[in-house]
Copies of this chain bind each other. A is one copy, B any other.
Amino acid sequence: MKPKLIPVEQNQTACKDCSIRRLALFNGVAEEELSWTQNYRSCQYQMPARREIYRETENSEFMFTIYHGWLAIYKALENGKRQILKIALPGDIIGYQANLTGPMSYSAVSLTDAVLCAFPRAEMPELFRNNPTIAKRLAELNSRDMNLCHNRLTTLGQHSAIEKVAHCCAELFFRIKIIHEELENDQIEFPLSQEDIGDITGLTKIHVNRVVRKLREMNLMSISDRVLTVLDADKLCDLGYFDPRTVHTHILY
């Protein structure tokens, strides 16, 4: 069962005009090369919220760069539970793995309406061969993902429920701030349900609810109407053992 891919009807964004290019795979590519790198991009696709994009073990023709919206990559369990491995945000790549012809190692779903830029997986080796800048950029993005995964692993293994939720929210808050560059805003759109937070942190939605209340009572953050308000970013990071420096998508040489 393949997801239906609906191309963006009009005004597909050209790579050279892309507002989030600094975050994405083509960061660092020279302006004059962007027209031919764009040839590797098949299409921009529009996705409604809660649309399945990949299912684990199935094959897919495409990998995607997120242009707009929130996605979750996750592993589903036999008992109906799931573990969210990562929230993918604009600039992030989903569906890349070294074995480009093999089945997907995780499932993916859109959490909001989203726009994805599709790349045929089969043509990636050629793209990387022809443009070392892009290959290097991919390595950067993978390396940051590995780091996020290591930090989440540490959180799940060693921290309490409230620390896990604090870490999760702090990470997303700072990742969104980097994307939107709104320096002084303490609020972000936050499409995750409490159950989603539970699937990230390994907690039940009931316990997430109690912990979120506690965080509100501690005046660290609050969530309402799909908006996350961070009241004390420093204390929230401390509680969640979260270091904002770990989420940058650029390597500082």
Q: Show the binding face of A for B, using Cβ within 8 Å.
A: 75, 77, 81-83, 85, 97-99, 101-102, 105-106, 125, 129, 132, 135-136, 139-140, 142-147, 149-154, 156-158, 201-202, 241, 251-253
Give CA–CA (A101, B227) in the complex, Å: 38
Q: Is A251 within 8 A of B102, CB to CB?
A: yes
Contacts A99-B143, A157-B201 known; list 18 others, CB within 8 Å: A77-B158, A82-B158, A85-B150, A97-B143, A97-B146, A98-B139, A98-B144, A98-B251, A99-B252, A101-B253, A106-B150, A129-B132, A139-B139, A149-B149, A153-B156, A156-B156, A156-B157, A158-B202
Q: Is B99 within 8 A of A140, CB to CB?
A: yes
Residues in B neighbouring A253, C-beta threshold 8 A? 99, 101
Q: Is A241 within 8 A of B77, CB to CB?
A: yes
Residues in B neighbouring A149, C-beta threshold 8 A? 146, 149-150, 153
Q: Is B75 within 8 A of A154, CB to CB?
A: yes
Q: Is B157 within 8 A of A98, CB to CB?
A: no
Closest chain B CB from A195 CB (angstroms) = 14
Closest chain B CB from A150 CB (angstroms) = 5
Instruction: Name the contact of A202 in the complex, choosing from B83, B136, B157, B251 (C-beta under 8 A).
Output: B157
Closest chain B CB from A187 CB (angstroms) = 28
Instruction: Name the contact of A146 in the complex, choosing from B125, B129, B146, B202 (C-beta under 8 A).
Output: B146
